Structure 1
Amino acid sequence: MLALLLFCLVPCGADDSCIPGILNTPSVVEYGTDLEANCSTTRDDFDELTLRLGNTSCTNPENNSVVTCAAPVLDFKMKVECRLRLNGTECMNATDIIVYQNPEVRLSVKNGSDEQEDYTLQCDVLSDIPAQNYSVTWFKNNETIKTEFIIGEQEKKDSSIMAFNISREEKFAQFRCEVQLELEQIETRPVISTTQNVSARYAPELRMNSSETITVPNGGNVTLHCDVEGNPPPEYVWAIDGNPIFQTTKWLEIDQVNSSIICSCTASNVLGKITVKIHVDVEEVKTEAEKLENCGLTLTPSYLYVKYGNPASIDCYTASTDLAKMAWETAVGQSFGTPPNVTWRVEKLEDFTVKPFCFVTLLDDTQCIKKPEITLYKPPDLVAVSGMVKMKEGEEHTLRCYIFNVAPANKLQVTWYKDGRNVHTANFESLDVAPHTECFKNSAVHPCDVSSNYTFIPNKSDNASLFTCTAELQFRPAGPLPPPSVASAPYTAVVEYKPTIKKCMFSGVEDSFRLHDVPCETDGNPPPAIEWQYNGTRIDEFKLLKRTDSGTYKAKVYNSMGEDSTDVVITVEYKPMFSCERNYTVKVNEKANILCEPDGVPSPNLRWFKNGTEIVPHYWKKNESGWYSLRASNKHGEVEHQFYLDILYPPVFTETNATEILVAGKNFSFVCKAEGNPEPLTDWSYPIRDNVQKTTKGRQKIITITTATSTNAGSYICNATNEFGNVTRTIQLKDKSTDNFQFWWIILVVLLIFLLIIFLVCFYRRTRIHGEYNFVATNDTNIAMQNRSAVENGVKSANGQS
């Protein structure tokens, strides 16, 4: 009976299952920032709700159903846990957080060698966190020039390297790199390196003339300047008459020069070197006898370089005092002046054979002459570069520099430049001079047409490069400064090379873009055509794309030099749409999952509404059946879908068990009715009697007792069943006379028990008064007392057993 009583005290129908709390937390967070999260529950009978963010714990205040917590993110393996304790049972909902940390970025510059690009830039990505995917974007003068995607776990790379050149025309450029972590959940901020300023690199070259002559007095001092520039800054090596000296700057000081010397300065860097020769002549002080030698004639200047068509003049002076006659002998120009100084002058020198001389006749008929060294030169009328209209990558090609009407041709030096950089130098011995070879075979000087060839193997980087040639007349060491030169107009190279295409991804809106609109970056000459394929079949690039056209396409570019291809992921975006049912069924207490997934690209955001109010469903309750709507939206639009949600649950009685008293002759009616979804089937279990009838009304079963008698007493059990369970409800119909009989029976039993207790008490008292004793014959009183005590104890024991 006690066990039955305890069983009855246990609540019936209680749900002791522990359902984990709902966790709401960001999935990605930056290291060092604060993480905020919350967990909630739909239960209202829980013991405790706890949220753990790493090592930080927060509990629910005042038994609220939502716990909010914040903690700094200082662990790359941080875990978030939502713990719910119910009736001594704990359940947990946990998730790992992706913790990221932007790396440190350092940009360094290294100079290239003579066989490499001018510079090598290295963008180092420094981070202590595990490898992650990231992109490195290079900028030159604030314009994007390259983006590299690095998969950390596969490539294990921690730097990006780029080599490049800077032309002389650019002079300098600014470079930087930006690193951005590639995370699908969020877009991180880029980390920007410092900006590096770099200037053009080129081999050492002369600022002015390539050599010169300096005259100093005997015993005088001289300072020489190696006028050379280059980048990287060149190193200087000096030599005097071929013997190296310990001087490494561009300046050389020589004290007390007493003889003519030839000084050379060699300037070099990783890209090349150049040697400059400087002739240092000592001016001797002539004695009076030396001044009178050759009648004391002196020509100023004694060496004359005249440009074709320019005026020219030479002074002739004599130190002799016994003059008879003094003049210039010439077929060109005039002689004027009075001894001891006469001048030859021509207003326009155009005769390459002119050879004037100054003569003196003394009183003793001695005659002396002095001839100057005259060089008449003519810079080219025109310098032009010619070549085939088109070059092909990898095939040898020759450019020709035509030099028209130049003299003297054997003093020519031709220099070829590509984009302002020296690529080839040739002198008259290596020139292709056809068809006027007589310019070199005949010693007579006259204007000629000559040409120079530059042969090379072009590559794609040569396309659109500007080639020029410069024809320069070199008169060393005492020629005009700077040397006469004429440069050609730039010749733009057209190099044909096979096409390339870079990987590209593109998204567009349905019915508004075509494959033709995809901005894939291509390169090639002739400009390549593009062809699109899908699963090996060519696709019309002008067809408007539908949502079903998303996929991986192959873009193929081709020209006369070859072809290239790449896979292109095309995503056709469109506004959301629903293809869902109008009715859905769920079970009570089920988690509220998405019943109807919308379609759309980008993936739509989904919101729940009931009766026009936005809701956030968690677990379905039996009273929540009704009409719902889902609203899906993305950047292209919004759509709504309505549906009826039917929540299924097992049978439930609205009334508890009951007991009724049977009254003879009275009519009774019992209804078996229960709630449930689907609506439960009901039936009765009852004592079958002639006056008992069961009827059906809908899904209800009704028991009717007409003119009740004592035979109708008993249990009437109602059973309700559907596919999710069954329950019972009992109505006890008791006979009142039977209750009276039971009442008197209980009184009789109690009376008998009372009488038995009185009997036992009386018997116990009589035994103590008239009990039997045993005596032991002894003189020792203490022993007798002990025996008496033992007897009394025995009597008490016997009474207790009774």
Structure 2
Amino acid sequence: MWDMCHRIFLGSFVLIWIAGGPTHASSQLEFNPPSVVVKYGDPVSVLCSTSHPKPNGMGWEATIGGVSFQPDVSSVTWTVDKLEDWTIEPMCYISTVDGQSSKTLSVILYKTPDSVSISPLNHSGPMVEGTEYHLLCDIKNVAPLQNLVVKWYKGNESILNVTYSDLSIKSPGDVFPNLTITPSRDDDGAQYRCEAELDLGPEGPQPPPTVTSEPLNITVHSMPSNIQELEDTVIDVGSSTRLKCSSNGNPPPEFSWVFFRSPNVRVENKDAVIIENATGANIGNYTCVVKNYIGNVSKTARISVRGADPVCPIKLSTDSVVIKYGDEVSVSCINTASVEDMYWIIDSQHVNNTTWSVKSRLNWDTTARCTGIFLGIGNCHKPLNITVYKAPDSVSIFPLNHSGPMVERKEYHLLCDIKNVAPLQNLVVKWYKGDESILNVTYSDLSIKTPGDVFPNLTITPSRDDDGAHYRCEAELDLGPEGPQPPPTMTSEPLNITVHYKPHITSQLPERIPVFRGYPVELSCVAHGNPQPRIEWRYDTANHVTHAGGNLTVYEAGLYNCTATNAVETVFVVVVVILKEDYLPLIAGFVAVMVVVISVIFVFIYSIYYKNTKMGRYSLKDAKLASTPNGNVAQNGCRDIPLPMTKLSQPNINF
């Protein structure tokens, strides 16, 4: 009996191990083709086959074109006439005597851009050499982004490739890669273009699908070139010389001269100065100024008249001034020698006063120098360094070509809009994330003194940890030790960003779980994301289940798909539920029956033993039914039946 129970227990254990043990049939599933690259809206067909000798059946699990379980087949085809599901992940599954397994088909659904165009960002008209610009490539409605390669060209020269391999967005979207250029005068008339290429691998179309923008022709305005010909000159008294000044720019520049005026000096065609019959009055500096609206260059030549080298004994009350636009300024000339005359030259204009005072607004490009005519020396001058500054009218920050929440791991550009600030070469733009300084932008390579607008930008790729982060930009005028301390600063209002990120299923759902007949199991699906994901269970509608929020009570075997969806992405986990029989009640009943049977056998054996050892032995041989004289009666139950008894001899009685 024990051996029988032992066999049943071992048999049950073997059945449970076979039903719940691991399977490796997925290695016997093959796709033809192994993976597919499909243009959006095109048909697709893939054969799933197995080399397993005895499959119970196969099927396809897919959001479209799914094939229900087909018994006793070794291949099944997934077919879609018009594939338009960007997130589809078809799964072929097989059932064998070893269990059930599946394999997911790699599907890349692609779409070429609706349009590709190139334009300057926040700019129109000619560009200025030495200034940073951003060319924007507007690529509309392309997918998948992780296979997109944006190629930038200058003429026929490839200058930059931009990829989005770190993204996992499958549905179509717009991208706005930009190219930063700092054109030179040699770039006037250059052509730029961008090209959107979908690199879909060896399975994709060859050559890769490509859409190219129309070329962008740029016009570059340049400040006047450096002056080359003007050089220091030594001449003899009474001789003549010609000072030549030449420079090129776009638009063509204007010429002017700054020098000590004397009767024997004249300007010829504005680009040359002629000195005739030189005297000691001609000793000094001759400065040619060439300028257009972009900037100016100047060069000074020293004219020496052989026989006298004058020393200029002029001092200024301050060698440089930093003044806020609209404020007053006052600077005095101080002579240290006998002087015939002393005055200021302000923007080439003669001011007969040793103290120069301005009580109204100063011009942005004002030049000032104190000039003296000294006995025995002639003319000399002392220039004053002037910096006129203006704090910005406003500083603001906003996302470039974007509104609403951002998506993690996607690249964005934050634009700092700084209005009407000067001078730009003293501007420092500081970017902050919270209280952390992350980038400083300077414009020290510029020489524009008049106020202007600048639009520095910051490229960010936010993560989910950046949700709620604060960004701000700060415009600071670093005017040196002569300027106000601390430096004039204006800060934007903070920009608070919201970051959306894909769902993450946090509940620990097993890949396989058994359910005993009559004993349901509860599956709990919990996911986090931004926005908060929607939880949905997908399963065979014929199965008996019970819903309670994100929990699913399962009574039957099958595939149960927990899907978490938000605006960013959809993720899912598949749980395989296996049905098992519960043999415990059967074993318990069998044990109970065996206990009863053993108890009956024990009582029977005990009763025989008791009769043989505890009662006298009697022989019924020759017994008669007639009443006996001695009255011996054997009792049967509680009824008296007179039976004649023959008393055995004493040795035959056992106690």
TM-score, structure 1 normalization:
0.31
| Structure of greater relative contact order (alpha carbons < 8 Å, 6+ residues apart) | 2
Q: Give the structure with higher Rg (CA).
A: 1
